[in-house]
Amino acid sequence: MSTHRVLVTGASGFIGRHVAHGLAGRGQEVIASGRDAARLDANRDSARRIQCADLAADPLEPMLDGCDTVVHCAALSAPWGSRVEFERANVLATRRLLDAACRSGVRRFIHLGSPSIYFRFRDQYDVGEAFVPPRRWITEYARSKWASEDCVREASDGPLQTLILRPRAVFGEGDRAILPRLLAVAERGWFPLVDGGEALIDVTRVDNLSGLIVDCVERGWSGSGQAYNVTNGEPLRVRDLLSALFSRMGRRVRWVSVPRGPALAAAWLAEQVALRRPGQPEPKLTRYGLGVVGYAQTLDIRRAREELGYRPTPGIAAGLEAFANAWSDHDRA
């Protein structure tokens, strides 16, 4: 199998670091990029080169030198934030990276999209990849992730081969987005379970996602700008996921079942208070955050199975175990 030189953006973050390590572990030459030099350092032993750069501002050609593939994991990934911040980190950065990749002769580009675009305040089962954007977006994050996909599709007219992965609720060692937020809510000793936590959701072990990306880099793919849902393929009830998490973390948490309507109203109130505070800090409860665990959402992953040969390893226990082992105070979101 031939060796690839791969630029991994967001290698200082959760998914990017797993991807960079996975590729390096298979003998690929990794250029690990991010902004936070200390966190990027986790790639020092495995990457061929470490490159600190702000994708929205710095010249990008130098780090693409000799690369045939880009795996674009960098993004502002959060349920809260202003349109300006999301546009810069997710849309401008993606567009600049694609332009630089085309100019540098990169052949393949894997983009991390997000199923947050599908979210509606209703239960959704077996959601497929076909998507029509709504007139009003529920979060600026989702709006910017869809716009970043548009950039990828536009760049797919030329010789650049592109692929968009939409992994749902990725968790595992080093997660900074999902499990830390759930633990923060549980810090008071109780957890608000929307409608008893019966909603069925899909999650994705980070090793399944990074394994798929490594396979795609090594095997290549045909098609441009095609999007693929990615999950573990084993939907579970929110309550079962939380029970497993808190029990593995040694947390005794009292469940408080709350009806969906009042819970969303309380989250709306928390958002309004946050919007009026200096710096508009993220509230512990947002309507989106609550909705993600308060409504069912499962994704159809047949396309990834059939066209990319995706074969996820089942079981959430291993992912929770890896997260818990790595968890320490400085990891808190």
Ligand X SMILES: NC(=O)c1ccc[n+]([C@@H]2O[C@H](COP(=O)([O-])OP(=O)(O)OC[C@H]3O[C@@H](n4cnc5c(N)ncnc54)[C@H](OP(=O)(O)O)[C@@H]3O)[C@@H](O)[C@H]2O)c1
Single-letter amino acid, residue 157: D
Q: In angstroms, what is the minimal distance from the CB of 168 to ligand X?
A: 6
**DSSP code for 127:** E
Site string for ligand X, 81-120 (x = CB under 6 A): --------x---x------------------x-x------
The Cα–Cα gap between 47 and 24 comes to 6
Q: In angstroms, what is the minimal distance from the CB of 10 to ligand X?
A: 3
Q: Output the six-digit token pair for 178.
A: 């999902």
Span interacting with ligand X, options 100-108, 117-125, 126-134, 169-177, rule CB under 6 A: 169-177
Q: Is residue 192 part of the contact set for ligand X (CB under 6 A)?
A: no
Q: How many residues does the chain have?
A: 333
Element (H, E) at 29: strand 29-34
Report the residue closest to ligand X, judged by CB: 13
Q: In angstroms, what is the minimal distance from the CB of 64 to ligand X?
A: 14
Q: In angstroms, what is the minimal distance from the CB of 93 to ligand X?
A: 5
Between 112 and 270, CB nearer to ligand X? 112
Q: In angstroms, what is the minimal distance from the CB of 52 to ligand X?
A: 8
- Listing DSSP states for 149-165 in one string gives HHHHHHHTTSS-EEEEE
**Residue 302 buriedness (CB in 10 A; 0-12 / 13-18 / 19+):** middle
Residue from 6, 74, 164, 227 binding ligand X (CB under 6 A): 74
Q: Is residue 73 part of the contact set for ligand X (CB under 6 A)?
A: yes
Using alpha carbons, select from 90, 320, 120 the residue that is nearest to residue 203. Answer: 320
Question: Helix 14-25 crosses helix 206-219 at what angle (to 10 degrees)?
Answer: 50
275, 269 Cβ separation under 8 angstroms: no
Between 67 and 112, CB nearer to ligand X? 112
Binding site for ligand X (CB under 6 A): 9-10, 12-16, 34-36, 39, 54-56, 73-77, 89, 93, 112, 114, 145, 167, 169-170, 176-178
